[in-house]
Amino acid sequence: MINFGYTSNKDRQIVFDENDRSVYQILQSKEPSVDICIQCGTCSSTCTTGQFTQFSLRQIIVNIHRGEMDFINEDIRKCMFCGKCQLVCPRSVNTRNIIQVLITILN
Amino acid sequence: MTRESQTIAVIGGGPAGLEASAKLTGLGYNVFILEKNTEVGGHLLDWDRLFPDQQNASEVLDAIKAGLNENTQILTGAEVVEISENHRFDIKLAGSPQKITADAILVATGFDVFDARKKEEYGYGIYDHVITSAELETYFKNKKEILKRNGSPVKRIAFIHCVGSRDEKAGVRHCSRVCCVTAVKQAIEVKELYPDVEVYLFYMDLRMFGLGYEELYKEAQEIYNIRFIRGRLSESFENQDGTIMVKVEDTLAGKPMRINVDLMVLMVGILASSGTSEMGSKMGIGINSNGFLKPVNSHFSSQISNRAGVFLAGTCKSPKNIEETLSDARAAAVLIDNYLKAKIT
């Protein structure tokens, strides 16, 4: 490749039809309550891990649905399974099991 | 003077006009319903089922009409051209020598849906596979199959919220309220007919204000696997194969997003109807900045106009669901009765 002395940024766009969205499908079959998430962010605001790192269960759920898998594998391992997210979730999503299932899928 | 000797002219034969007429005739008054279309029923005539319980629109219309008695005279094809006042109101109709004389007037001229062609970037009337929520309803009502132009099945549908609502570029600042839950209802109906179709709803906020609406939203997620993506459609393009590329910001992921769909359904908003604006200006009734008719006080006199003897009911004042429209019509009937009783004594 010829070096023109500059680079271009990676496309940030979510190209829904080209993304591999299979992880969400497996997650959905193993933990159906993921579908009723309303993306309110109560889980991520109460999360101790999120206070000190970029970890956000809300964003993990939305990104996996879209097939945006960058950093997901690292992020899910930051969860300490304290379960506060599950206590506060207004829709009673089984949040801890979502992380547990994701770890199993991605291992 | 008795109730039996007094007449009320109801302008508009939609749900509000019909319900108020039923209550007024029930009290003993004579009512003329002036409907400019060929049939009474308003938008209910075009609707198949109603949120949130999927009741048939025709059943609701029949129930309202059942309240009308022999003191009601329905004039269809009746267009009001002039209203003059000399103790009573004299109403002149287009192409008719007959003059209606009334002691009070109820304006129930309703709404029009937003003309989706004004949002040119959404491709309505330009691309092959863009329809409005009102059109989708006629598909359901007439049992018309939802197919692509070439007759092949639709695999993915996008419902686009707030088309002609909360959009100053389209000249509409208000929220039309009922479109959110209508989208959820219609998405469920699509999934009932075609379980394999993928359905995505693109929204800014989901305003599930009524009892049973939030539950319907959850049902859409849990049972029908309908997906809600928070982002307002910025632009859409027609691909060579007739599919549509939708561009939004996936605001919850914080990234721009594009997705191809086979059919786009535009959730068109509720505007004051042309008849509402016309009646407003003809009778000198206050019009608010959104184009709807303005009652003297929106809290405690919301069915009373600034002109004595002229009352307002239904969606000529603001977007409403059927329940609210009917309650409003009944309230208007009571206030008209109070007004005329004061005249009797």
Give the phi and the psi of residue B313 in degrees, each rounded to 5.
-145, 145
User: Which strand (E) or helix (H) includes residue B342?
Assistant: helix B322-344
Distance of CA B90 to the CA centre of its chain: 29
Q: Is B255 helix (H, G, I), strand (E, B) or coil?
A: strand
Q: Which amino acid is at B56?
A: N
* Res B84 pLDDT > 60: yes
For residue B260, the chain A residue with the least C-alpha distance is A17
User: Which strand (E) or helix (H) includes residue B73?
Assistant: strand B72-76
Q: 42-81 in A: which are within 8 Å (CB) of B?
A: 58-59, 62-63, 65-66, 68
Q: Is B226 helix (H, G, I), strand (E, B) or coil?
A: coil
Judged by a CB distance cut-off of 8 A, whether residue A25 touches chain B is no
Of A36, A59, A91, the CB nearest to B253: A59
Judged by a CB distance cut-off of 8 A, whether residue A24 touches chain B is no
Which two three-digit tokens encode residue B210? 């009524």
* C-beta separation of A36 from B221 below 8 A: yes
Q: Residue B110: which pLDDT band, with cuts at 50, 70 and 90?
A: very high
- Give contacts of A68 with chain B, Cβ < 8 Å: 253, 255
* Res B238 pLDDT > 80: yes
Q: Which pLDDT belongs to residue B345?
A: 57
Shortest Cα distance, chain A CAs vs residue B163, angstroms = 22
Q: Is B106 exposed, middle or buried (0-12, 13-18, 19+ CB in 10 A)?
A: buried
- Give contacts of A63 with chain B, Cβ < 8 Å: 253
Q: Residue A10: which pLDDT band, with cuts at 50, 70 and 90?
A: confident
Cβ separation B252–A14 shorter than 8 A: no
Which two three-digit tokens encode residue B38? 């060929």
Q: Which pLDDT belongs to residue A87?
A: 97
Beta-bridge partners for B112? B271
- Give contacts of B258 with chain A, Cβ < 8 Å: 13-16
**Of B244, B232, B123, which is closest to residue B167 (Cα–Cα)?**
B232
Mean pLDDT for the stretch of residues B88-115: 95
Give the model confidence (pLDDT) of A31-48 as tens digits.
Answer: 999 999 999 999 999 999
Give the model confidence (pLDDT) of B112-134 as tens digits.
Answer: 999 999 999 999 999 999 999 99
**Backbone dihedral region of B123: left (phi > 0), alpha (psi from -120 to 50 degrees) or beta?**
left
Q: Residue A25: which pLDDT band, with cuts at 50, 70 and 90?
A: very high
- As a residue count, chain B comes to 345
Q: Which pLDDT belongs to residue B233?
A: 96
- DSSP tally for chain A: helices H, then strands E: 7, 1
Q: Residue B98: which pLDDT band, with cuts at 50, 70 and 90?
A: confident
- DSSP tally for chain B: helices H, then strands E: 7, 20
Give the model confidence (pLDDT) of B152-171 as tens digits.
Answer: 999 999 999 999 999 999 99
Q: Which pLDDT belongs to residue A2?
A: 85
Mean pLDDT for the stretch of residues B271-280: 97
Q: Which pLDDT belongs to residue B344?
A: 66
Mean pLDDT for the stretch of residues A77-84: 96
Interface residues from chain B to A (CB-CB < 8 Å): 218, 221-222, 225, 227, 230, 250, 252-260
- Give contacts of A16 with chain B, Cβ < 8 Å: 257-260
Distance CA B338, CA B340 (A): 6
Cβ separation B255–A32 shorter than 8 A: no
Q: Which of B221, B224, B233 to mutate to test the interface with A (most CBs of A within 10 A)?
A: B221
Residue ranges and CATH numbers for the domains of chain A are 22-106 (1.10.1060.10)
* C-beta separation of B166 from B204 below 8 A: yes
* Res B1 pLDDT > 80: no
Give the model confidence (pLDDT) of B201-235 as tens digits.
Answer: 999 999 999 999 999 999 999 999 999 999 999 99
Give this prediction's pTM.
0.95
